Structure formats: structure tokens, C-alpha cells
Structure 1
């Protein structure tokens, strides 16, 4: 229990006890934790002390507050890799996960870098759309997304509303082709200054990084995406069969 003569502040002790209950699965992922009144009585602390502990646990991805429902242990967002190609937005929609997109920028750069040109299979004189978005789930920024789109394969796509609709749906509508497959790779990287500021984490903290080339049914490359993912409660899942 709490050590009131300890130099460690009470809110940090409460935070450690709550975290222990989460890690040992006394309070399983996705489940509601006891109410504030119950926790204040259990730990013998004030509301202010408890709120500070819970706030820190929210910032670090252990808890999430849902308006009108209470505080819950943060559940992992699992992306099943074996079930075919679909976007993160399509996954969230299918699993009824509330999310929002903040458009940071959507512009056609004046100059195309050789890196982007090589990825999209275009020349440095060709134009492309660079779309940058910040995705929020249950009040927490979890993804910084950069989509580099070959607009020659999807004329006027820059006029679309990217804040609500799935990008793949938009691509298929403007290109009049279907999204066929992707080449995707993941790696663990340290957060740079921009990413750390969006995710409220320390610079250099580990995050998940994704690069993806998306191909249309006519074999052209429509998109090169770079995604930085806050990985404290985000997992990739697959099922493999041995031949």
C-alpha cells in the first residue's frame, strides 16, 4: 500500500499501484476500472492526487477516458496482417473505433525529390500530391501519416475531402481503378522532434514506422506512404500456416 512517509509523492505511488493492476491483468485490457470514489477510498487519497495519477497513466497510454462511461484500460489496436489489404481507416470503421483526422497539409510541391519520384515511378518534373495528416483515436494522437500520391493516375484527387473518407476509397474513385496490392515494411525507429511533439513523448522514444507502396489494378504505383505510429498500445498480428 501507500507509504506516506516516503519521499515519493503519493500520486506517483498511486500511479504505480494502478499500473501494477494493469500489467498483472487484475484489470484486463479494454475493461473499465473502479470509479474515482472507489479508488479514493481504496487508496485513501484525495481526488486531486488520484486525478494526477490517472492523467499520467492516460498520457502514457495505459488508460483512456470515455465520455459518460468512465475510465478504461487501454486495449491494443491489433491489425491482422493475414486478412488482406485495407487501410487503417477501413480497419477502424469496421471495428467501430472512433477516430478523427487532422489535415496538417495537402499540397502539390513545386519540386519533386528524386526519392519520391523513384518511389512513385515518375520523373522529377511530374507533379504529385503530398498529404500529411494526424490521426486521433479516443482523444490520443496515434499516427502521423504522409501520403505521396501520383496525381497523373488520379486526376483532381487533390480536391477530395481527406478528413473523413478512407484514402483507398478516394483513390479508387478518382483513378477509376481498384487498389490491387501493396508492398509494406515496418521497422522500429526513434521519434524525431516533430513526431515526439505530436505524440507527447520524448525525442528518441521507440515508435513503429511503416513504408508502403500501393499498386493499382493497372499495375501503376498510385501512392508511397510513410506512417509514424505510437506503438504503446498498437500491435500487428498474423496467422501463419506451416506447409
Structure 2
């Protein structure tokens, strides 16, 4: 710190930490050093550190969690629901690096629920793909995908950790979903989910069921995506109000 500067020390500390965050020296979700450690690092009082942190918190750059410390806040990305695309593709739009770890890929038979959603016979052989999706350096979602084996021969051979699911459909099968229907609910993180997503047990999560369709209204796949609520918000825009909508409003 420059003690000869006319700029108050807490503003100098704030500016230095702010620059470190913007330059990604600190990662999103990373725990900051304690007040004592920052006080020693900058050779200032703890009151000065508290003032700096208060300003950073007001700007949404840090968040204090009672009993745990102060963390770099995530800036939520807006995922638009008006476009039929994969979750990983949405992350890439915001300049994030994304990758996924394959947790499970196997064959199973369609139960009543999946058969109904995909308009196929119960007992049809299905591919099941489960992936952990990362945003930059942190896990953000778990994706579980079901699709009929007969429609996607050699699907297992095409799975790669650097390719999105929709990229595989396009490149290997010439399929681009024409539309998707989503149902979004909320759940809380269980012990298993919290360990995979590196969040706390009981944290809120989005639970998104999705069916992708071809132009002829034939379902392509059914998926369940579990997403951290603190990292993403979902947005939808509406255009014209239909006659039925007007009746509901009235």
C-alpha cells in the first residue's frame, strides 16, 4: 500500500483485490484469505480490510458466508429458453471454457415413463449417458441423457469429453433439434449431488427435464439436467399473446 497516497487505504485494498478478481487471479467460488491474513498481507488494520470487503460485497464481487469466510461471487449467466440448444453451448456463448467428465455410459431398457416421453415401446433398448459439466474450473451441472439405440448406431464410439451432445448429433447423425420442451423444477442438493457439484447439502438446484424434437415432432432424446441455482438463471421472452392466453388473463 502507498501510505503517501491521498487515496484512503481501504480504497487501495479494494482496488487491488478488485483487479485480482477481474484478472482471474482469484477464481469464482474461491475462498479469500481471512481478515487477519489480508491485514498482514496489506499491512493495514482489520477495520480497513472490512471496509474494502464491504464495498466489494456491495458490487456483488464477494460474498460473506457466516462461519465459513468470504468467497468470490459467481456472476450468474442467463440461459435463454427460446432456443433449442445444449447447456454446454450456452456456457460457451458467455466466453466460458467448458468440459465434461463422463460418469456413466451404458445400455438400459425404456420404462413406462421414458417410453411415453420418447413415443417408443416399453423395453426398447436405450443409451444412457451421464456427464458432469464444468464451467471454467468448477462443476456446474449433471446431465443425464436417454436416446434410443436403434436411432443412433455406434453412439458410444462418438462420445468425447471435448464435444457437446448436440455437436455429436450434428456431426455424426446430421440431426439438429428443431425444438425442445422443458419442465423446470427445484430440488435441494443431497450428499451425492453436493459432492459432485461441490456445493453444500441443502443448496437449491434446478431440475430440468427436456425432450428434444425433430421437425416432424418425433422425439430425439429425453434428458434430466441438475444445475446449481447460484450459477445460472433461466430467461424466457414472450411475443404475441394468443387468444387462449387472453382468456386466461381475463
| CA distance in 2: counterparts of 1:197 and 1:190, whole angstroms | 13
Tell me which residue corresponds to 1:124: 122
- 1:87 matched to 2:116? The reply is no
RMSD after superposition: 3.5
**Cα 1:147/1:62, change in 2 over 3 Å:** farther
What count of residue pairs does the alignment treat as equivalent? 198
Q: Which runs of 5+ in 2 are unaligned?
A: 1-13, 27-32, 47-61, 242-250
Shift of 1:241: 4.6
- 1:206 matched to 2:204? The reply is yes
Q: Which runs of 5+ in 1 are unaligned?
A: 1-20, 22-26, 46-53, 64-72
**Cα 1:238/1:62, change in 2 over 3 Å:** farther
Q: In the TM superposition, what are the counterparts of 1:138-149 in structure 2 within 5 Å?
A: 138-149=136-147
Q: TM-score, normalised by structure 1?
A: 0.68
| CA distance in 1: counterparts of 2:216 and 2:70, whole angstroms | 42
Which of 153, 161, 164 pairs up with 1:163? 161
Q: Which moved more, 1:206-215 or 1:168-177?
A: 168-177
Tell me which residue corresponds to 1:97: 96
Shift of 1:209: 1.0
Q: Could you give the per-residue CA deviations for residues 147-180 of structure 1, whole angstroms, max 9, x where no partner exists?
A: 1112222222221123112211212344433311
| CA distance in 2: counterparts of 1:163 and 1:103, whole angstroms | 7
| CA distance in 2: counterparts of 1:105 and 1:115, whole angstroms | 21
Shift of 1:62: 4.7
Q: Could you give the per-residue CA deviations for residues 42-63 of structure 1, whole angstroms, max 9, x where no partner exists?
A: 7646xxxxxxxx9x97x99952
| CA distance in 2: counterparts of 1:184 and 1:61, whole angstroms | 35
**Cα 1:156/1:219, change in 2 over 3 Å:** farther
Q: In the TM superposition, what are the counterparts of 1:52-91 in structure 2 within 5 Å?
A: 62-63=71-72, 73-82=73-82, 84-91=83-90
| CA distance in 2: counterparts of 1:34 and 1:100, whole angstroms | 21
**Cα 1:34/1:85, change in 2 over 3 Å:** closer
Q: TM-score, normalised by structure 2?
A: 0.66
| CA distance in 1: counterparts of 2:233 and 2:70, whole angstroms | 13
Which protein shows a greater Rg?
2
Contact kept? 1:153, 1:175, Cα under 8 Å: no
Which of 129, 133, 136 pairs up with 1:135? 133
Which of 175, 183, 194 pairs up with 1:177? 175
| CA distance in 2: counterparts of 1:75 and 1:96, whole angstroms | 13
